[in-house]
Structure formats: structure tokens, C-alpha cells
Amino acid sequence: MNEYFKQLQQQFFEYRKAKGFSSNETKPKQCCMKIFWQYLDKENITDIKALKKEHLFNFATYLTTYKNSSISSSYQLNILCLVKSFCKYLLERDIIASDPSVLVPLPKIGQKLPSNILTVKQMNKLLLSPDINTYIGIRDRAIMELLYTTAIRNSELRHLKLTDLNLRDGEVFIYQGKGGKDRFVPVGKIAKEFLEIYLDKARPVLCKQVDNPYVFLSFRGKKLGNNSLQDLTQRYGKKAGLTGVCPHTFRHTCATHLLKNKAPIRYIQKLLGHASISSTQIYTHVAIEDLKEVVRKCHPREK
């Protein structure tokens, strides 16, 4: 990538940040753009004004064969959406005279049903797996209880600050969640109890700096790293005899359990922080699959 393109990319991400997109997205989005810059280099395009719609159509095809199609169709969609957003930005800034990406179609991705949704019994076993006689065990139990009760995302939990907690009213404030949106989520009774125990007994021991603002800390007293929750949930999943447990398992399981217990889908949408209810409706498909299984097992015509 030449210096000119580097400058354009930097300005584009600064623009996105000003628009409310999370700064946590920058690194993965840069990886998406890197593939685009590689394509432009392959086509010997060194000036963005030389970009034409034919290049964008060819880029969409290029993605389907990139490294022998080693990238998923959903990732291809993410890349194309970002490139389209970049072209729109260039047009708004009068850097290009017309948007070459307007007519480029986006691949249609079928909705993927969430995997590794736990039963209530499995979830209870998982939540009981940390040793709460240790400070780390108390922390880990509080983390998993909070993930299950609120269905918040991995990054949202890791970035929680003490000022985001309102345990008196049983609320947590999520600042700049996915899409740069803020929201409040309720904290259940048991999660609230373990959070209070953690804040009272474990966090003061883990905290090395008095002014550390983050709720959950590593054993070194720092904010949890990018892979911390992945490793933590996987470790306790194995201990509980479960496979494939990750932070998103709690999110999917929470939404599914709420739906099965007749929670209105609009409220589940609000809890999950979905911009569109269509994203939430995937959980109704999970419920339908359960219903199909019941019919298969119990209906006289199925026997």
C-alpha cells in the first residue's frame, strides 16, 4: 500500500470513529481493507481516482477465489460492505466524481443458526465450575453469571468500567457497543450477588492501581486481554464436560432461554442490542427446530 492510500485509509477510519463506530473495529477492518489494497496493487492502480465500477465487480469475483476461497462468504460480505462504505466516503469528500461501487451486488448470506446452545442443566453446571474459594474463581463466576444474565458481548464485558455499574438498581450501562450504540441492560439477582462479592472481596486484591477504571481485572491487575474470555469460558466448559463453549455461547443461550420462556422478541432485541429485529428472529428458528423435534418424537403420524 502506497503512502497516498495509507493516508486515505487513516482519514476514512477517523471519519468512521467520528460517526460513532467503535475504535475496537479498526484493527479487523484494516485487515479487510488490506485485501482491497492487495487487489489494487495487482491491478496496478496507484490513484484512487482511477477506480472504476469494473474494478469493483472484478474485486467481488476476486474475493471468491482469494487464497483458494479460504475466506468465508460472510467475511467476503464484510469486505465488500466496507469497500462500498469507503467509496461513499470518497464521494462525500469529492475525492472521486462518482461512486464506482453503487451497482456492485452484495452476496446473499443465509442466516446461520447459533450453535452450542446449552440446556438450563448444562448452563447451571458450567456456572458452578469455578472454585469460588479463590479470588480468580470468584471473578470468573461473576463474569459468567453476568454474561448469561445480560447476554452482553465479549468486548462489551471486557470494556466495562466501574462507573457503568448501577447495582442498586440492577443495571449495567453498555457504552459504545456494536455499531457505536449505547444501551442499558438489566442484571439478574444471582449475577448481582456475585458481582457484589467480586467487587467486595476479589477485585481489591487483584487491583494494583487505585485508579484502574475497569470492572474485571487479570491476575496482574490489568484490563482483560482480547483472548481472556475465550480462554476462560473454554477452560470451564471442558471442566463441565462441554465442548465448544465460548463467550457467545452465553449470549445465544440467554436469548434462546428467554424466548422459550415466552419473553417477547422485541425485549430480547433490546437486550441483545440488535439494530434490526431480523437479527433477533434467528432465535425463533432455534425454537422451531425444537418444536420439529418434539413433533418428530411425539406425533402419531411420525412414528
Phi, psi (deg, nearest 5) at residue 108: -90, 125
Catalytic: which of 29, 141, 153, 158? 153
Asked if 283 is an active-site residue, the reply is yes
Which is catalytic among the residues 53, 178, 183, 235? 178
Specify whether the backbone of 241 is left (phi greater than 0), alpha (psi in -120 to 50) or beta: left
DSSP per-residue letters across 247-277: HHHHHHHHHHHHHHTT--HHHHHHHHT-SSH
121: helix, strand or coil: helix
Q: Give the bridge partners for 229, in sequence order.
A: none
Backbone angles phi, psi at 221, to 5 degrees: 85, 15
- How many Å separate Cα 51 from the centre of its chain? 32
Considering the candidates 55, 203, 248, 252, report the single residue annotated as catalytic. 248
Which residue in the list 89, 198, 236, 283 is annotated as catalytic?
283
Residue 203 known to be catalytic: no
Strand partners for 197: none
248: annotated active-site residue: yes
Residue of 55, 159, 252, 274 marked active site: 274
Residue 274: active-site member: yes
Nearest one of 225, 224, 287 to 252, comparing CA atoms:
287
**Torsion-angle region of 262 (φ positive above 0: left; ψ -120 to 50: alpha; else: beta):** left
Q: Which of 29, 158, 251, 257 is catalytic?
A: 251
| Residues recognised as catalytic | 153, 178, 248, 251, 274, 283
